[in-house]
């Protein structure tokens, strides 16, 4: 491969960050996604963060009587603001009456704020954060330093500005609601921009919504959850403004892991200046976020987390605007935008199982070949097959095949390799990879082996 000249590189960077020089977009990039990524505004993010900080607290059990302070004012502002972006956005409160339980000290109305940008198909891609905040005695530093006492929550109406946790995720979500709904692009998937409530009391807003979606069989293809994504300066002095962590639940080839790989592949293609670091665990050690609530109800969901955390400014009155870097948050928003736009423009991922859930891969025709079959995805004009050795986290090889629904690799052992297939359209948009996974073994009984009575006992 030729090494690009300096001039070419400069042009490519201009096109990617500026969005203005459309003609110079490299052929592998969709100019519409370049435009969406380029439309993310640091100034808008700053304005949202400042506004959210101004409510003083957004504790789920804080006041709903004030027009300027507490969760009632905050949720109404988020609602009105998203509604103002575009008539294409359908904004609503996804409301629940939550009973007193656990960290919920009285019956309370919890409202997720939800903005839907309808696509051609009902399958949904979510971008989310949680707008509630909390303060606890000693902040997160107290918890991390080995505190084993029960968590002492501050008065719900006392200061909990929550600019980073999770004003940052909400600002990112709201900014992408604006960018996507004003882009003029028609998406195949329906995009949902969601600000969850009651995350700090046990992911309650997300759980309630995921539970309802599972019950109503709403097809949620992907959830990109952002929680604490605005700060690049660790409390220990380490600074990293060039990367974002993405956590995903296993096992190796779970839908969430595949979604994480997609975010890395497509996020970094459109935002090459930002590195996506994948973490093969559900979340940080002994901590959790709303993506896990979606996992619990069977949906693919990943959690974005800033590169370096400052625990002094979490769950604490010190979680103020001074503790975030808007330029860094904007980069994380661009990665989300690229991944979500790619997913929403691509055909749905191919179905690679029978109606009974058996993977459609075998060793035919010789008994030593890899024979893959899949069902055609609506809108696909080709398929990309991926494979890697069975011991390895990332795809190692890929091959674009035409508009077919099977492929055979001679003398290739499906025992030693993992295979997957993605649907591709004529503009090069690519779905998440569907991975061939063996169902839990049915040929080996998991119970103990029964022994016959001994000869002496007979």
Closer residue to Zn ion in complex, CB, 166/425 = 166
Closer residue to Zn ion in complex, CB, 24/141 = 141
Strands 220-226 and 301-306 come out as parallel
Q: How far is the CB of 144 from Zn ion (least distance, A)?
A: 15
Q: Which residues bind Zn ion (CB under 5 A)?
A: 165-166, 227
Q: How far is the CB of 199 from Zn ion (least distance, A)?
A: 6
Q: How far is the CB of 107 from Zn ion (least distance, A)?
A: 23
CB of 116 closer than 8 Å to CB of 209: no
Q: How far is the CB of 210 from Zn ion (least distance, A)?
A: 17
Q: Which DSSP string corresponds to 271-327?
A: -TTSEEEEESSSSSTT---HHHHHHHTT--EEEEEESS--GGGSSSTT-SGGG--HH
Alpha helices in 108-254 (DSSP H): 139-144, 169-181, 204-215
Integer Cα distance of 214 and 220 in angstroms: 9
Integer Cα distance of 391 and 192 in angstroms: 36
Backbone angles phi, psi at 456, to 5 degrees: -60, -35
Q: How far is the CB of 193 from Zn ion (least distance, A)?
A: 17
Q: How far is the CB of 170 from Zn ion (least distance, A)?
A: 10
Integer Cα distance of 284 and 279 in angstroms: 9
Residues in a beta bridge with 92: 114
Strands 301-306 and 108-117 come out as unpaired
Q: Decide: helix, strand or coil at residue 73.
A: helix
Closer residue to Zn ion in complex, CB, 227/258 = 227
Tokens of 26: 């490299």
Of 301, 32, 304, which Cα lies nearest the Cα of 171?
A: 304
Q: Give the chain's end-to-end CA distance (angstroms, integer).
A: 78
Closer residue to Zn ion in complex, CB, 140/248 = 140
Closer residue to Zn ion in complex, CB, 166/232 = 166
How big is the chain by its Cα radius of gyration, in Å?
24
Closer residue to Zn ion in complex, CB, 35/140 = 140
Q: How far is the CB of 238 from Zn ion (least distance, A)?
A: 21
Integer Cα distance of 12 and 5 in angstroms: 11
Closer residue to Zn ion in complex, CB, 225/377 = 225
Closer residue to Zn ion in complex, CB, 81/227 = 227
Closer residue to Zn ion in complex, CB, 319/430 = 319
Q: How far is the CB of 133 from Zn ion (least distance, A)?
A: 8
Q: How far is the CB of 83 from Zn ion (least distance, A)?
A: 25
Mention every residue, 6+ apart, whose C-beta is less than 8 A from residue 130: 166, 169, 170, 195, 196, 197, 198, 199, 200, 205, 206, 227, 289, 290
Integer Cα distance of 130 and 290 in angstroms: 8
Integer Cα distance of 427 and 30 in angstroms: 7
């Amino acid at each position: 491969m030729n090494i690009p000249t300096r001039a070419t590189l400069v042009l490519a960077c201009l096109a990617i960050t500026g969005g203005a020089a459309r003609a110079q977009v490299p052929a592998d990039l969709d100019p519409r996604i370049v435009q969406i990524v380029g439309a993310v505004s640091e100034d808008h993010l700053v304005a949202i963060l400042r506004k959210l900080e101004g409510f003083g607290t957004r504790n789920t059990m804080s006041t709903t009587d004030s027009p300027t302070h507490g969760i009632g004012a905050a949720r109404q502002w988020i609602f009105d603001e998203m509604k103002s972006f575009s008539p294409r956005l359908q904004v609503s409160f996804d409301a629940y009456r939550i009973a007193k339980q656990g960290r919920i000290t009285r019956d309370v109305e919890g409202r997720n704020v939800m903005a839907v940008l309808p696509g051609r198909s009902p399958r949904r891609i979510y971008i989310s954060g949680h707008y509630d905040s909390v303060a606890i005695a000693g902040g997160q530093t107290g918890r991390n330093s080995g505190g084993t006492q029960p968590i002492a929550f501050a008065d719900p109406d006392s200061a909990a500005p929550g600019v980073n946790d999770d004003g940052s995720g909400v600002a990112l979500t709201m900014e992408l609601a604006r960018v996507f709904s004003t882009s003029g692009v028609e998406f195949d998937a329906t995009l949902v921009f969601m600000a969850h409530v009651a995350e700090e009391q046990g992911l309650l807003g997300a759980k309630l919504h995921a539970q309802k979606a599972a019950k109503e069989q709403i097809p949620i293809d992907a959830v990109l959850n952002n929680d604490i994504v605005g700060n690049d300066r660790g409390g220990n002095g380490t600074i990293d403004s060039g990367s974002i962590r993405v956590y995903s639940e296993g096992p190796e080839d779970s839908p969430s892991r595949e979604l994480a790989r997609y975010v890395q592949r497509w996020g970094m293609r459109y935002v090459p200046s930002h590195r996506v670091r994948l973490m093969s665990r559900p979340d940080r050690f002994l901590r959790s976020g709303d993506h896990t609530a979606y996992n619990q109800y069977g949906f693919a969901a990943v959690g974005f987390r800033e590169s370096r955390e400052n625990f002094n400014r979490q769950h604490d009155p010190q979680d103020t605007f001074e503790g975030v870097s808007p330029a860094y948050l904007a980069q994380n928003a661009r990665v989300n935008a690229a991944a979500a736009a790619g997913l929403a423009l691509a055909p749905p991922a191919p179905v690679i199982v029978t109606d009974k859930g058996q993977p459609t891969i075998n060793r035919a025709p010789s008994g030593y070949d890899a024979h893959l079959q899949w069902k055609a995805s609506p809108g696909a004009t080709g398929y990309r097959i991926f494979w890697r050795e069975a011991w390895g986290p990332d795809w190692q090889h890929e091959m674009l095949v035409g508009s077919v629904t099977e492929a055979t690799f001679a003398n290739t052992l499906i025992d030693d390799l993992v295979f997957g297939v993605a649907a591709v359209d004529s503009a090069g948009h690519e779905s998440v990879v569907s991975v061939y996974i063996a169902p839990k073994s049915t040929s080996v009984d998991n119970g103990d082996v029964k022994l016959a009575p001994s000869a002496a006992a007979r």
